[in-house]
Amino acid sequence: MGKEKELFEGVADEEVADEEVVEVAEVETELAVEKPAKKPRKKRVLTEEQKERLRANLAVGRRTALLNRQKKAKLKKIDKEEKVNAEEQKLSAYLRKKEAQKEALTEVEKLRKELAELKAQKAEAPKVEVVAEQSEPAKKPKKVVQKEKVENHVIKEEKVIEKKPEPEPEPKAEPTKPKKPEMTRKQLLKLMKGI
């Protein structure tokens, strides 16, 4: 079957190729015939007055175009200067901020060194023992003199008795109010029934 197919394919291709060549040749001849030759365009003849007027208009146009270009150039220059100034201000603010940070860091380092020196001096200094002194209480005890009479002897004796200050009473806790018993769900529903 494969051999038969090959035989028929070759025959069909040859017939189609001959027909295509004939059609292409006919199309080429039609195209060549249809193209008309372009006629040269006549040049417009101007008088001297018209030429002078056109030259004057051209000079005025060039002058205004030059002024417009100069105006745009000035505006661009101003915009560029403003942009550069803004960038410079931003940079100077950044540099001032950085400089302030560096100064703060140097100040911190300086303080750290001073602190280290003080610690070193404190470590080198001889240690002094601190003895706690007993201080007198703020309230002195009251002295009360009692006289007793002895019946057998006529001599009177005097005794000195010291009273200790009474300790301050501790503040009493405020009596707590009894808590209301919590209502059950059933009781809540009863109360809410009338609402």
DSSP per-residue string spanning 140-179: PPEEEEEEEE-SS-S-EEEEEEEEPPPPPPPPPPPPPPPP
Q: 146 has which bridge partners?
A: 159
d(C-alpha 152, C-alpha 168), whole Å = 43
d(C-alpha 183, C-alpha 189), whole Å = 10
pLDDT at 44 (0 to 100): 86
Classify the phi-psi angles of 163: left when phi > 0, otherwise alpha if psi is within -120 to 50, otherwise beta.
beta
d(C-alpha 48, C-alpha 55), whole Å = 10
pLDDT at 60 (0 to 100): 97
pLDDT at 26 (0 to 100): 62
CA-wise closest residue to 141 among 124, 160, 169, 119 = 160
Beta carbons within 10 angstroms of residue 34's beta carbon? 7
pLDDT in tens, 148-163: 555 555 455 555 566 6
pLDDT at 86 (0 to 100): 94
pLDDT at 30 (0 to 100): 58
pLDDT at 189 (0 to 100): 86
pLDDT at 185 (0 to 100): 85
The phi and psi torsions of 14 (rounded to 5 degrees) equal -70, -40
Mean pLDDT by 10 residues, the chain (195 residues): 57 54 59 68 89 96 97 97 95 93 92 91 72 61 56 53 65 66 83 80
DSSP per-residue string spanning 14-62: HHHHHHHHHHHHHHHHHHHHH-PPPPPPPPPP--HHHHHHHHHHHHHHH
